[in-house]
Amino acid sequence: MKICMLTSVHSWNDIRIYGKMARSVARLGYKVSIVAPGEESAVPGCQDGVVFYRRNLPKSRWSRIFKTAAEVAHLASTIPADIYHFHDPELLPWGLKLRKKTGRPVVYDVHEDVRLQIPDKAWLPRWSRPWIARAVGWIEDCCAKRMDGIVAATPAIARRFADHPRCVVVQNFPWRDELAPWPEKNSRREHGLFVYVGGISKIRGIREMITALEIAGPEAQLALAGRWESPALRAECSRLPGWAQVEELGFLDREAVRQLLHRAQAGMVLFHPLGNHVESQPNKLFEYMSAGLPVIASDFPLWRSIVESACCGLLVHPLEPASIAAAMRWVFSHPEEARAMGHQGRRAVEEKYHWEKELPKLLDLYSVLVNQNREYVQAA
């Protein structure tokens, strides 16, 4: 079976697209290709059995939406495949054209509820956001009805497409053993070291985390691994008193992330209570658990159900640095209890929250779509 994945937004090595889906499907003998934007020097020709086709990086958001999306879809149409699996809402109209041109099934992978994201996009004029959100939602609903399959990253997203006959939930959980902690005797946990891995932005709580460091005291240190939303935000945060307690590491590859998580005492995931965050399932939450780290997380109902059922961390108000600081102090003042939370989170990943449990749902969808398309072609 030949699978072509395409994205105009994500990088070629995106964790969900390449790190989980493409690599795992290729390991099973499928022929897998990915079309994605990137620098010529950065995108490999082939890796882990996945073949890459590159488009130039867009010069702006609008160029990405109107130019890069078209280029990615056009290139994908020249690649023979049994299924075309795309990962961005701006590719929806092109997905329909791809379906018509090739006669092959097309799958829409919904990573986020884009309607809930738009009201928080600071680069859009505030007055325009409600109208754009409605328009995008309407386009998404109309196009999604004509997709052969929908892959939703969370149950909350899947509820939007409950009427679609082939909507499956494939959650973005980590590989079961990729980040597994070292044996206890080799543990290198550093007292008072907290970690945040991922995109660094205001709405993901960076200001509150840094402010909490000063309140928690000099024992608390924060390792940051990821790219900043903007140079201006970094400059703003560097002026906060807690900045002296920050270890800035930049973007790390997966092995470096693994090593970092094994140094820390707890992982931070403190998204602001915005529409798209409240029912999200951030990859980092489960990666911290997978690495045997207790978590300090925003107290959202969904996140509370995950953290409390696994007994794997502490819940705080993400907009209150004093609440975050109190959780930090508890972790480095109760190392044995915190370590036990980390073990319980790791156990929950082993039993429930791992990629190997999600993959069969994707494979089943591929099989159904290919068989249906084959029957349709034979009947015609």
pLDDT in tens, 353-363: 999 999 999 99
Percent of the chain as helix, strand, coil, to the nearest 5: 50, 15, 35
On whether the CB atoms of residues 89 and 116 are closer than 8 A, the answer is: no
Give, in degrees to the nearest 5, the angle at Cα 144 between 139 and 150: 145
Instruction: Tell me if 215 is assigned to some domain.
Output: yes
Question: Domain tally for the chain?
Answer: 2
Weakest mean pLDDT among 112-126, 149-163, 270-284, 288-302: 112-126
Q: pLDDT tens digit string along 164-211?
A: 999 999 999 999 999 988 766 556 788 999 999 999 999 999 999 999
pLDDT(281) > 70: yes
- C-alpha 77/C-alpha 55 separation (Å) is 14
Specify whether 189 is located in the same domain as 252: yes
Residues 38 and 60 in one domain: yes
**Are 135 and 245 within one domain?**
no
Task: Tell me phi and psi for residue 35, to 5 degrees.
Answer: -105, 125
Is the distance from CB of 34 to CB of 25 less than 8 angstroms?
no
Are 250 and 126 in the same domain? Answer: no
Residues 367 and 332 placed together within one structural domain of the fold: no
* Angle at 226 (CA atoms; ends 92, 205), nearest 5 degrees: 85
Q: Any residues with CB less than 8 A from the CB of 240 and at least 6 apart, and which?
A: 207, 210, 211, 214
DSSP class per residue in 130-156: HHHHHHHHHHHHHHHTT-SEEEESSHH
- 342 and 363 co-located in one domain: no
- Residue bearing the bigger pLDDT, 175 or 115: 175
Distance between CA 58 and CA 161 in Å, rounded?
Answer: 30
Range of weakest confidence among 46-50, 120-124, 269-273:
120-124
Q: Are residues 213 and 158 in the same domain?
A: no
Tell whether the model's pLDDT for residue 123 goes beyond 90: no
Contact 181, 175 (CB under 8 A): no
Tens of pLDDT along 94-113?
A: 999 999 999 999 999 999 88
Look at residue 200 and tell me if it is in a domain. yes
Percent of the chain with pLDDT over 70: 97
Residue 178 lies in a domain: no
Q: What is the DSSP letter of 65?
A: I
Question: 220 with 321, same domain?
Answer: yes
Which is more confident, 40 or 1?
1
Judge if 189 and 302 occupy the same domain: yes
200 and 59 share one domain: no
Is 278 part of any domain? yes
Is residue 179 in some structural domain? no
The CATH number linked to 326 is 3.40.50.2000
Residue 375 confidence class, pLDDT cut points 50, 70, 90: low
Domain that holds residue 344: 184-351
- Give yes or no for residue 58 having a pLDDT over 80: yes
Mean pLDDT on 265-279: 92
Same domain, 327 and 226: yes
Q: Are residues 11 and 141 in the same domain?
A: yes
Please report how the helices 283-290 and 335-351 are oriented relative to each other, as an axis angle in degrees rounded to 10.
110
